[in-house]
Amino acid sequence: MATALPRPLHALTADELASAATDRRWPKWQTMALLHSLNLPVLNACLIEPDQGMAAVRTAAHDLATATATTKLMVRSDGGVEKKQYYRGGNTFPVEEIPLLAAGLLADGRAVILAEPTNRFTNRLTVLVRMDRPCPGRPGSVTMEALGPGYDVADLTRGQIPPQVTAYIGDVDWDHYQSPRWHEWQITGDRCSGGEDARRHRRLERLAAQTLTDGGHLDRTAGVEHAGAWLREHGFPHLFGPQPTRQALARRALRLFEDAFLMALAQPNRNWHCLATAFSVFDEPRAVYWDLVDGEHKYAATATNPARPKERAA
């Protein structure tokens, strides 16, 4: 039986979303479908499975670009249960370059997720939300770590950049919703050694070593000063301006808490212990959730003496 051609996430029926939301083969796509089915904001996207081939990539790229009225798309990938090192996605490329980029991913047995483009240099707010169930000696809780203008999700998830603001709510009963009072929030300010200058330096190091080189904007010899100059030259001064992160997080904290509770209730794994999701407010302005990660199913166990996985820079 022929495999159905990929269709944009926002065009899937309720039954198709429900099916995708329980398919654990592709966890990123699974959680995007789940979040969309809950009417939470996510990017429109298409999934191309490894056995669907290049014709499906071209069809998906055309259909998604048409649906979102764009000439560029973001390239992500999904490998099921991941190893610690895998493809760095999230960069945006012209539609005509998509087949070449996707070919290697499909050949490696990875699914390709094409998504509508974003500008990762102009984000207004980035928040990593962690949900913990009660366990012996520790109450249920929600922790929100936030970065302000010019930072992105990868800075918190992979960049080891300390948050500017952390908000914490304890004694959360994940089976019974109760709106927290403001005095119950524990807010912690900047704890980065060296302050904002050190944090900004780390961000520019990541841009120079990964994001701008992966996207073809700088070469591999570029340093921090080149990344800073590139941002300014292209009209992206957000990283160098005011960082009103505390106020921005305060405005959205209750809604993020409510959404986290909704995600936890809808999580297919009813025995979850720790969940995490990432949230971005773009410069447009527009806000989206990225994925919903179950900590127990994020990474595969490390084999004995594994060969180092080859990390492809797109």
Q: Residue 310's pLDDT is what?
A: 35
Q: Residue 297's pLDDT is what?
A: 58
Q: How far apart are CA 91 and CA 85, in angstroms?
A: 17
The gap between the terminal CA atoms of the chain, to the nearest Å, is: 33
Q: How far apart are CA 131 and CA 141, in angstroms?
A: 6
Q: Residue 299's pLDDT is what?
A: 42
Q: How sure is the predictor about 305, in pLDDT bands with cuts at 50, 70 and 90?
A: very low
Edge-first strand order for the sheet with 274-281 is: 186-188, 165-170, 141-147, 125-132, 274-281, 287-294
pLDDT above 60 for 306: no
> Which ranges constitute the DSSP H helices of the chain?
14-20, 27-37, 53-68, 98-107, 153-157, 195-206, 212-214, 224-233, 245-266
Q: Residue 5's pLDDT is what?
A: 80
Residue with tokens 């974003």: 118
Most distant pair of Cα atoms in the chain: their distance: 60
Q: How far apart are CA 10 and CA 7, in angstroms?
A: 8
Q: How far apart are CA 134 and CA 170, in angstroms?
A: 10
- pLDDT greater at residue 83 or residue 224: 224
Spatial neighbors of 173 by CB under 8 A, at least 6 apart, are: 140
Which whole number is the average pLDDT over 83-101?
80
Helical axes 245-266 vs 27-37, angle rounded to 10°:
100
Asked if residues 291 and 277 have their Cβ atoms less than 8 Å apart, the reply is yes
Output the six-digit token pair for 245.
Answer: 């992160």
Neighbours of 79 (CB within 10 A): 20
pLDDT above 50 for 307: no
Q: Enter the pTM of the model.
A: 0.88
Edge-first strand order for the sheet with 45-48 is: 45-48, 111-115, 72-78, 91-94
Output the six-digit token pair for 35.
Answer: 């979040």
Q: Residue 309's pLDDT is what?
A: 35
Bridge partners (DSSP) listed for residue 6: none
Q: How far apart are CA 263 and CA 258, in angstroms?
A: 9
Q: Residue 193's pLDDT is what?
A: 79
For the segment 262-286, what is each residue's pLDDT rounded down to a tens digit? 999 999 888 999 999 999 999 988 9
Nearest residue to 50 (alpha-carbon basis) of 7, 109, 113, 98: 109
Q: How far apart are CA 83 and CA 226, in angstroms?
A: 32
Cis preceding linkage at 117, omega within 30: no
